[in-house]
Structure 1
Amino acid sequence: DYGLTTDIGSVKRGGHYSSENLAQLRRFKKWQNRLRVSSSEERNLSQALSLITKVGSQLNLPRYVMEHASLIYRKALRQDLAKGRSIAGIVAASLYIACRNFKVPKTLDEIAEVCSLSKKEVGRSYRYIIWSLGLSSSAPTPEVYVVRFSDKLGLPYHVEKLALRLLNAASLLKLTGGRGPTGIAAAVVYFASVIGGVKRTQREIAEVAGVTEVTIRNRYKELLEKIFVEIKI
């Protein structure tokens, strides 16, 4: 409207309006309210899509993951799920769901940090959207994290392969049930680095995996007690 806005006030019977003019004014008022809502939603969506692109780029996410996150955000907006919640919170949750759907190994902590939000807030928005939209969200498997952590730590292929074999053994021994995928992946990577002669400290792996050293130490002890490793010279 080029900066000029005409606000149609409340329309009541009586006064100088004919019944025809009264009906017309009511229609105008109705459309004005609709346009205001539409304009507000468009601004919200525009900000959200820009943020998805920005955060996705910082996290090096594939284009298709960002597009899927945008689709989830649009659905949330249509269902009025963004009302009373921050745009950043819904964006972070949408990105996390998209990453899990495509098995792109990004943790809640990573996404929350880039969005300058607490893990608790993102987790709350994530659960709310999943429940409200009836979405499925399968978590990345520990194997995906093993490959990712090995790459980030600069470990040679034989150590990565050994870590995957240790993970398979842990799974067969039912040591992975009820354990977070990042924690068990970090532990087998540490185990493999020790056996493979390319040791990385628990602190180094903890920083890459986004878990505590205590978690790695506890999972490692469990593996050490149950898995017999034969080293061929």
Structure 2
Amino acid sequence: MDIEALHERGRERIGEFGATLDVRDAVVETAGAIFTRVYTEETQQGRSLTTVAAAALYVACKQEGAPVTSSAIADAADIEHSHLLRRSKWVQTEIGTPVDTFNPKPFVDEYANTLGLSDETRELARNVVTVATEEGVASGKSPSGFAAAAIYYAAKLRDETCTQDDVHEASGVSKITIRNRYQEQAEVVGDVTR
């Protein structure tokens, strides 16, 4: 198969993953461009088209601030999570653009929308993320879990009805993770409504 046909197939796979995950068209287009750039005659040998396509989508999601987890992409592509992460690092090296993988704010926005929370609670959750990150408690944490905890914390501070169960349902983050991240955030952030 010639490289143009492989590029077309890779972009189709990215489109399928994007549709499954309800990713914006702009992110899918960015992923397609990344895939075309990194999947060449020289680099295709020994690299699964599906894994590289999924990795390109993951990198594009990070670049565009789309709230999609690596595990969701791995599930959509039916590949091992560890293979996706390894290939994503390779993609970032190939395009020469390291991507900050810790950005919980798009997740905060998505979860706040899903839960129907007020703009004030959303903004407070974003502030919790900022302060907790500056205080160093975000290191090594999942952005989706960190955002879910911040949403729960902000809702509690603003007396909006939002339980750990509600946040778990909206985010898919375990209640244990929400509770642990919430406790870590509360220790360093305090009551930021004052």
TM-score between both structures, scaled by the size of structure 2? 0.84
The amino acid across from 1:224 in the alignment is A
Q: How does 1:147-158 map to 2 (within 5 A)?
A: 147-158=109-120
1:49 and 2:49 matched? no
1:99 and 2:67 matched? no
Q: Distance in 1 between matches of 2:102 and 2:193?
A: 30
Structure 2 residue aligned with 1:146, among 92, 103, 108? 108
Q: Alignment identity in percent?
A: 27
The amino acid across from 1:66 in the alignment is V
- 4+ residue segments displaced more than 6 Å: none
2:39 and 2:52 in contact (8 A); partners too: no
Structure 1 residues 83 and 203 mapped into 2: Cα distance closer, same or farther (>3 Å)? farther
Q: How does 1:73-88 map to 2 (within 5 A)?
A: 73-78=35-40, 80-88=42-50
CA deviations 1:135-191 (Å, max 9, x no partner) are 322336222221121112222223212222333432454433443322221111111
The amino acid across from 1:91 in the alignment is A
The amino acid across from 1:69 in the alignment is A
Q: Which deviates further from its counterpart, 66-75 or 91-100?
A: 66-75
1:59 and 2:21 matched? yes
1:182 and 2:147 matched? no
Where structure 1 has 5 or more consecutive residues not aligned to the other structure, the ranges are 1-38
Q: Distance in 2 between matches of 1:55 and 1:230?
A: 39
Provide the residue aligned with 1:215 in structure 2.
177
Where structure 2 has 5 or more consecutive residues not aligned to the other structure, the ranges are none
Number of aligned pairs?
Answer: 194
Give the drift of 1:94.
0.5
Q: Distance in 2 between matches of 1:64 and 1:184?
A: 26
Q: Which deviates further from its counterpart, 108-117 or 161-170?
A: 161-170
Q: Distance in 2 between matches of 1:79 and 1:122?
A: 21
Structure 1 residues 115 and 178 mapped into 2: Cα distance closer, same or farther (>3 Å)? closer
Q: Which deviates further from its counterpart, 88-97 or 39-48?
A: 39-48
CA deviations 1:202-229 (Å, max 9, x no partner) are 2442344343322221111122333332
The amino acid across from 1:53 in the alignment is G
Give the drift of 1:231.
6.4
Max radius of gyration: which structure?
A: 1
Provide the residue aligned with 1:225 in structure 2.
187
Structure possessing the higher relative contact order (Cα contacts under 8 Å, 6 or more residues apart):
2
Q: Distance in 2 between matches of 1:174 and 1:147?
A: 22
Where 1:101 maps in the other structure, the secondary structure is helix
Q: Distance in 2 between matches of 1:163 and 1:88?
A: 36
Structure 1 residues 49 and 225 mapped into 2: Cα distance closer, same or farther (>3 Å)? closer
Q: Distance in 2 between matches of 1:230 and 1:133?
A: 40
Where 1:78 maps in the other structure, the secondary structure is coil
Structure 2 residue aligned with 1:137, among 76, 83, 99? 99
Q: Distance in 2 between matches of 1:105 and 1:179?
A: 15
TM-score between both structures, scaled by the size of structure 1? 0.72
